[in-house]
Each structure stands twice: as C-alpha cells, then as structure tokens.
C-alpha cells in the first residue's frame, strides 16, 4: 500500500474512532458509553490511534494525542501502552508541529509511563522549541516534586535547569 493510501486509511480510522467516541458525549451519555466499551473495541480504537500517530499529518497526530487523553480520562484502567512509543516519536520530532508535540507530551504525562516520562524530561532538556521546552520542563518539575500548579498557585511555565528544584 502506498504512503498516500496509508495516510487516507489512517485518517478515516481516526475520524471513525473519534466519531465513535465523541457522539455519545454530545448526547450526555459518555460515562455510560465508555464504560460499556469492551476490550476488543478499545483495542481497535487504540490501534487506529497508533496509525494516526504514525502519519505525517500534524493535525491527525494532534487529534490522536488528544483522543488518547480523552479516552484515558474515561478508561483509566486501560494502559494505552501501544500508544506510548508513537506518542514519543511525535514528541521527539524536531521538525514536527509544536501543537501536536505539546499534546503528545500531555498525553504521555497523563498515561504515566516511565518511558514516556523519561522522554518528556529529555525533550525538556534538549528541544529547540521554546513552548515545548516550557511545557515539558513544567511536566517534569511536577512529576519530580509531586506538586501541581493548582496546589502551588504557580501560573507560569518557567523552564527549570538540571539539578534545580
């Protein structure tokens, strides 16, 4: 299958998965709907998300990262482990769109994977994107200290240097 056809198939799968997940939310039945999804459907949605994250289309990557965040909030017992490596690839891509990379960092942080957390801290140290550096630095700081901005009252995203706490 050509790369163009793969992108079209991934886009279709992402849109179909997104519609499957968001339609009940508009009807006010999202909690019941997500609770009723079986492991088979969740695994299929997860595979479609992985395909979208592997695409070269920044909007698809951003939508897929946000979908991981949304699904994780409704199904925290599911690990979404198949999404970790593709999310890391989006996060580490220096040529990638800033918004997609930030959403990938937020999704990785919410999944709580040690591998994803390490990737966030490395990107905080080495990226050339100032917005991403700020977000990743803050996520790494919160993880190291166990403090959240709501608890500390800190509203700014000041990058921290290695060894500072």
What residues does each domain of the chain span?
3-152
Counting Cα atoms < 13 Å in the Cβ hemisphere of 99 gives 9
- In eight-state DSSP terms, residue 96 is S
Per-residue pLDDT of the chain (165 residues; tens, 9 = 90+): 566 666 565 555 555 555 555 544 444 555 666 667 778 888 899 999 999 999 999 999 999 999 999 999 888 888 999 999 999 999 999 999 999 999 999 999 999 999 999 999 999 999 999 999 999 999 999 999 987 655 544 444 455 555 555
Q: What is the pLDDT of residue 24?
A: 46
Count, in order, helices (H) and strands (E) of the chain.
9, 0
pTM across the whole model:
0.72
Q: 158 in helix, strand or coil?
A: coil
Q: What is the pLDDT of residue 140?
A: 95
Computed from CA positions of residues 148, 153, 156, 162, in that sequence, does the dihedral angle turn out positive or negative? negative
Q: In sequence order, what are the residues at sequence separation of 6 or more whose Cβ sits closer than 8 angstroms to the Cβ of residue 79?
A: 111
């Amino acid at each position: 299958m050509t790369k163009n056809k793969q992108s079209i198939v991934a886009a279709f799968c992402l849109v179909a998965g997104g519609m499957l997940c968001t339609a009940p939310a508009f009807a006010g039945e999202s909690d019941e709907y997500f609770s009723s999804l079986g492991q088979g459907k969740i695994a299929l949605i997860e595979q479609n998300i992985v395909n979208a994250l592997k695409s070269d289309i920044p909007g698809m990557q951003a939508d897929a990262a946000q979908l991981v965040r949304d699904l994780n909030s409704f199904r925290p017992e599911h690990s979404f482990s198949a999404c970790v490596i593709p999310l890391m690839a989006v996060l580490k891509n220096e040529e990638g769109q800033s918004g997609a990379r930030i959403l990938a960092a937020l999704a990785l942080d919410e999944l709580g994977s040690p591998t994803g957390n390490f990737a966030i801290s490395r990107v905080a140290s080495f990226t050339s994107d100032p917005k991403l550096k700020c977000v990743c630095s803050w996520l790494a700081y919160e993880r190291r200290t166990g403090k959240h901005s709501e608890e500390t009252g800190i509203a700014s995203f000041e990058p921290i240097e290695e060894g500072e706490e």
